[in-house]
Chains A and B, each alone.
Chain A
Amino acid sequence: MDSGSAVLDVQNLSKRFDMTQALEDVSVDLKAGEIHALVGENGAGKSTLIKILTGIQQADQGEVLLQGKPVKISNAQEAQSYGIAAIFQEPMVFPDLDVAENIFISHRDRGFFVRWKKIYQDAETILEDLGIQLDVRSPASGLTLAAQQAVEIAKAISLNVKVLIMDEPTASLSSHEVSQLFSVARRLRDEGVAVLFISHRLEEVFEIADRITVFRDGHKISTNPVSEVTRESLIQEMVGREVSKFYKSHEKTVQGRRIGSIKNLTKQPIFSEINFDLHEGEILGFAGLVGSRRTDVGLAIFGVTPADSGSIEIEGKTELIHSPQEAQKLGIAYMTEDRRKLGLAMPMSITENITLASLKKYLGLLGIVESSREEQTAGEFKERLDIKTPSLTHEVGKLSGGNQQKVMFSKWLNTQPKIFILDEPTRGIDVGAKAEVHQMIRELAKQGIAILCISSDLPEVLVLSDRILVMREGRQMGILEGASANQESVMALAMGQ
């Protein structure tokens, strides 16, 4: 394979999921013997491209050419047979099978009988060539994440890979492991493999990539040799989106007295040394890229996965919160990012969902739930948050995303929280409903609730927040004033610049 020719040519690819255009008319080419980095914000369309290339999803439009010939990749097996392999942040190994078997599990030509001796020898040879020391007979479950990735790479090599996609492979690796991974990637490049490298760490991208492609909002913005781009130009291209007209301009809410203080909150190895204060009526935005561990901090404060050390002080009471019950007693509410899985009981009625987190208030004689008072509360919230539904006995699962979100707001507001943690409050709802939810969040802040808003939607964080805490890989990178922050300053912190 001569270096410089396009192995994989993606032409005018488009993909749509219900409400969102994940990819629109995207064209990228990968050359043999290059490491091609793909960068972009959350939701830029990187993952969708990978899923299409590996056959997990199919494109609506466009073509994929492999060495000049158009190919149709309709499942994972076909992707493999074309020589396209992917390794992910979380490797897909078979934990109970041993290393050698994991490497050779997908070989279709190995016949009916497994020749163990040959498999062990071949596995050893491949790993040796990669410069990786692993016991080929030990089960994959005991391996570190880095070693599991090595197994996946070895598997790709055993399948004569032409295109190797690495999706955030370094996110959970130590710096030593990263440099090992890079030397393997370079070795593969030198052997003529096209490597597509996706990372949120710009310094890594500059260290290893030959060319860099930027995605934003499902579009390809640019592809340039690494020598022709700078960190600044890259960040500019990644965030250079206009703030949607649906967002209202930033209005400062009144900031009251301090009601909470988080000090040195740490949960090894996930996040460490998180410090911030919360004030009455303040909206504190939590910004960061996928994997920055924002949600983990939220879950620790709410006691779902308690922190190891540090302190959480609320209204003068200092304690580490160990369970959601304790958190609720202290006046904390947490609205999850995953409505379907963790937030709402979909087959139950609106009323039942709204009172679920505060059922105690409705217990009457003999501990029987008084449904008339439940209905009264639900009716109040329907008015207050403008929930659009024919009746309050309607199944929550049948409401629109925006209205489901309002039911969830009601549920937690009914616990009368002092601190309200919102995790991705507008995920999966349309732009109109988004503006409404933003208005609601501001209203709540005006009523004196301290709001901690975790969001991957950078413009949303910017318009809502009084202050913005930026996280990167479990560390607090800084707190910016909402009025003076802009996309570039937040992104620079989030990418560790």
Chain B
Amino acid sequence: MVKYLSQVRPEKQRELVLLLLILLVVIFFAMMIPNYLNARLFNRVSTSVAIMAVLAIGQTLVVLTRNIDLSVGSIVGFTAYFVGQQLSHNNEIEPMVAVLMAIGVGALMGGFNGILVAYCRVPAIIVTLGTMALFRTLLVEYSDAQTVLTVNLPQWLLDFPRLNVLSHGRLHLRFVVVIMLAVVVLFQLFLRFSSFGRKLYAIGSNPEAANNAGFPTQRIVLISFLLCGALAGLTGFLFLARFGNITVVAGIGFELKSVAAVVVGGVNIFGGSGSILGATLGAILIDLLENSLIRWLQISEFWRDALLGLLILTSVATDSIFMKRIRLYWAKRHAASTS
């Protein structure tokens, strides 16, 4: 195993280790909880991951440029409520229009963050801490403390989370999961193969050099926030479809969970490295742990949060300590084998 790992580049090892961890978590809980491994687990975790992974992908785009977006939770809440309310008032709205509406509202909010960060040069953590509160208040004002109720929503939306693309016995591949997979593949390819994607990495890696290389750094940062907002909007739509009842607290805490997924997924919080695939695996690991710990009665609710915190700390620690060693080791081995 170790021998095989040492053949793989350190950057890819991170993703393999995550996969391994996910596998270990499944095996562990399968031994601890009777009747753990079943179709329901897959169906439940995959639908809930679909929501968090899309959000984490947006967060990844921003974190890669050495920024952070703490307002995504509020964006999710606002778009979920906004679209839900529109659909309650008018059940005739086309599904595609509803989705585009969510994405558009999210992009607007993300763009607002992006302008403040890129062009007004306010640190992202300050800007998005501010807009986190701002967007949330907007939601409270707009909603007038009312709730979007499932009964008022069109039938197609209520059916949407249970819409299957493939089924094998009781194992279902939900449509929402397919949406998530499409987003993952699209953005993974986008970051790897588009020149925009590579510039995103370059800016986070060495902002000064990116400037000297003549990149439009401000525009790129703005676009990353805009895309993050758009994906948060899409998350808002998925959230609405899954839960139906939307109150003013919708999406609270999502910003931290998305950052956690990104960091656990091996995206460097100081920008420049990491992948969409990693962030997705991070989201899967976190969601799987959460879902499993709820069913594992030995662990109290409070310890669940502590375990999650521990996971984040260890993953950051491994990033700064182990990855450096692994890279050195790899460089040495590689040098030895080529010379």
Interface residues of A (CB under 8 A from B): 56, 75-78, 80, 92-97, 101, 105-106, 110-114, 116, 133, 135, 137-139, 141-142
Q: A57: shortest Cβ distance to chain B, in Å?
A: 12
Residue on B nearest A104 in the bound complex, by CB: B198
What B residues does A116 contact at CB under 8 A? 192-193
Given known A114-B194, A114-B198, A139-B11, contact A95–B205 (CB-CB < 8 A)? yes
Interface centre among A76, A94, A111, A116 (most CB of B within 10 A): A94
Nearest B residue (CB) for A91: B209
CB distance from B187 to the nearest CB of A (A): 15
B328 interfacial contact with A, CB 8 Å: yes
Instruction: Give the shortest distance, in Å, between A441 (CB) and chain B (any CB).
Output: 36
Residue-by-residue, is B312-339 near A (CB-CB < 8 Å gives 1, otherwise 0)?
0000000000000001100100100010
Pairwise interchain contact B206-A105, C-beta atoms closer than 8 A = no
**Could you say which residues of chain B place their CB within 8 Å of the CB of A142?**
327-328, 331
- Residues of chain A within 8 A (CB-CB) of B334 are 135, 138
| Interface mask (B260-293 → A, CB under 8 Å = 1, otherwise 0) | 0000000010001100000000000000000000
**Bound-complex Cα distance A94 to B212 (A):** 12
26 contacts between A and B (CB under 8 A): A77-B214, A80-B213, A92-B208, A92-B209, A92-B212, A93-B206, A93-B209, A94-B202, A94-B272, A96-B201, A96-B205, A97-B198, A105-B202, A106-B213, A106-B214, A113-B195, A114-B193, A114-B194, A114-B195, A116-B193, A133-B338, A135-B334, A137-B9, A139-B11, A141-B327, A142-B328
Q: How far is the CA of A142 from the CA of B333 in the complex (A)?
A: 13
A143 to chain B, nearest CB (A): 9
Known: A97-B202, A139-B11. A76 touches B194 (CB 8 A): no
> For A113, what are the chain B residues with a Cβ–Cβ distance below 8 Å?
193-195
Given A77-B214, A80-B214, A113-B193, residue A94 in contact with residue B206 (CB < 8 A): yes
Out of A76, A93, A139, name the residue touching B214 (CB < 8 Å). Answer: A76
CB <8 Å contact, A76 and B212? yes
Smallest Cβ-Cβ distance to A111: which chain B residue: B195
Nearest-CB distance from A161 to chain B (Å)?
14
A233 CA / B50 CA spacing, docked (Å): 74
Q: Which residues of B contact A94 (CB under 8 A)?
A: 201-202, 205-206, 209-210, 272
Rounded to whole angstroms, the CA-CA distance of A112 and B201 in the bound complex is: 15
Most buried by A among B201, B205, B331: B205
Which residues of B from 186 to 236 have beta carbons under 8 Å from A? Answer: 192-198, 201-202, 204-206, 208-214
B198 and A96 within 8 A (CB): no
Q: For residue B192, which residue of chain A has the nearest CB?
A: A114
Cα A489 to Cα B268 in complex, Å, equals 51
| Residues of chain B with a CB closer than 8 A to A75's CB | 214
Given contacts A92-B212, A114-B192, 17 further A-B contacts (CB under 8 A): A76-B214, A77-B214, A78-B214, A80-B214, A93-B206, A96-B204, A96-B205, A96-B273, A105-B198, A111-B195, A112-B196, A113-B193, A114-B193, A116-B192, A135-B334, A138-B334, A142-B327
Q: Which residues of B contact A (CB under 8 A)?
A: 9, 11, 192-198, 201-202, 204-206, 208-214, 268, 272-273, 327-328, 331, 334, 338
In angstroms, Cα B334 to Cα A390, docked, is 66
Ranked nearest first, the 7 interchain pairs of A and B with the lowest CB-CB distance are A77-B214, A96-B272, A92-B209, A94-B205, A96-B205, A96-B273, A76-B212
- B9, B213, B272, most chain A CB atoms within 10 A: B213
Q: In the complex, how many angstroms separate the beta carbon of B212 from the nearest chain A beta carbon?
A: 5
Complexed CA–CA distance, A241 and B272 (Å) = 48
Asked if B211 contacts A96 (CB within 8 A), the reply is no
Please indicate the chain A residues that have their CB under 8 angstroms from the CB of B331 in the complex.
Answer: 138, 142
Q: What residues of chain B lie closer than 8 Å to A77, measured between beta carbons? A: 213-214
Known: A110-B195, A142-B331. A97 touches B201 (CB 8 A): yes
- Closest B residue by C-beta to A101: B198
Across-interface contacts of B213 in A (CB, < 8 A):
76-77, 80, 105-106
A96 touches B268 (CB 8 A): yes
Q: Kindly list chain B residues whose C-beta atoms are within 8 Å of the C-beta of A97.
A: 198, 201-202, 205, 272
* Chain B residue at minimal CB-CB distance from A79: B214
Which residue of chain B has its CB nearest to the CB of A75?
B214
| Complex-state Cα separation, A75 to B18, whole angstroms | 43
A273 CA to B313 CA, complexed, in Å: 42
Identity of the chain A residue whose Cβ is nearest the Cβ of B196 in the assembled complex: A112
Give complex CA distance A79, B261 in Å.
Answer: 41
Asked if B198 and A95 make an inter-chain contact with CB atoms under 8 angstroms apart, the answer reads no
A75 to B: closest C-beta gap in Å: 6
Q: Which residue of B lies closest to A110 (CB)?
A: B195
- A95's nearest neighbour on chain B, judged by CB, is B205
CA distance A111 to B331 in the complex (A): 32
For B192, list chain A residues within 8 Å (CB): 114, 116
Write the nearest CB–CB distance from B213 to chain A, whole angstroms. 5
- Most chain A Cβ neighbours within 10 Å, of B197, B209, B334: B209
Select from chain A the residue with minimum beta-carbon distance to B268.
A96
Complex CA gap A94/B210 in Å reads 8
A80, B215: Cα distance in complex, Å: 12
**Measured CA separation A105–B209 after assembly (Å):** 11
Closest B residue to A155 by CB, please name it: B213
Residue in chain B with minimal CB distance to A80: B214
Tell me, rounded to whole Å, the shortest Cβ–Cβ distance linking B333 to chain A: 12
Give complex CA distance A189, B327 in Å: 36
Q: Measured between C-beta atoms, what is the minimum distance from B339 to chain A in Å?
A: 8
CB distance from B272 to the nearest CB of A (A): 4
Q: Could you tell me the distance between the alpha carbons of A88 and B74 in the complex, rounded to whole angstroms?
A: 45
Q: How far is the CA of A76 from the CA of B210 in the complex (A)?
A: 10
- Given known pairs A92-B206, A95-B272, the reply for A112 and B194 (CB within 8 Å) is yes
- Write out the residue numbers on chain B whose beta carbons fall within 8 Å of the beta carbon of A137: 9
How far is the CB of A108 from the nearest CB of chain B, in Å? 8
Q: How far is the CB of A159 from chain B (nearest CB, A)?
A: 11
Most chain A CB within a 10 A radius of its CB, from B194, B201, B206, B212: B212
Q: How far is the CB of A112 from chain B (nearest CB, A)?
A: 6
Give the distance to chain A from B197, nearest Cβ to Cβ, in Å. 8
- Per the bound structure, the CA–CA distance linking A77 and B204 in Å amounts to 19
* Contact partners of B209 in chain A: CB under 8 A: 92-94
A101 CB to closest chain B CB (Å) equals 7
Chain A residue at smallest Cβ distance from B9: A137
Min distance, Cβ B214 to any Cβ of chain A, angstroms: 3
A490–B338 Cα distance when bound, in Å, is 47
B89 to chain A, nearest CB (A): 41
Q: Note all chain A residues with C-beta closer than 8 A to B196.
A: 112
Chain B residues contacting A95 (CB-CB under 8 Å) are 205-206, 272
A112's partner among B195, B206, B210, B272 (CB-CB below 8 A) is B195
List, in ascending order, chain A residues with CB within 8 A of B327's CB.
139, 141-142
Q: How far is the CB of A76 from chain B (nearest CB, A)?
A: 5
A138: chain B residues at CB < 8 Å are 331, 334
Q: Tell me the minimal C-beta distance from B85 to chain A in angstroms.
A: 38
Residue of B nearest to A94 (CB): B205
Report the Cα distance A155→B310, complex, angstroms: 43
Chain A residues with CB under 8 A of B212: 56, 76, 92
Residues of A within 8 A of B197 (CB): 114
Chain B residues contacting A133 (CB-CB under 8 Å) are 338
Give the chain B neighbours of A141 by CB distance below 8 A: 327
A75, A78, A93, A113 interface centre (most CB from chain B within 10 Å): A113
Tell me the bound Cα distance from A101 to B206 in angstroms: 14
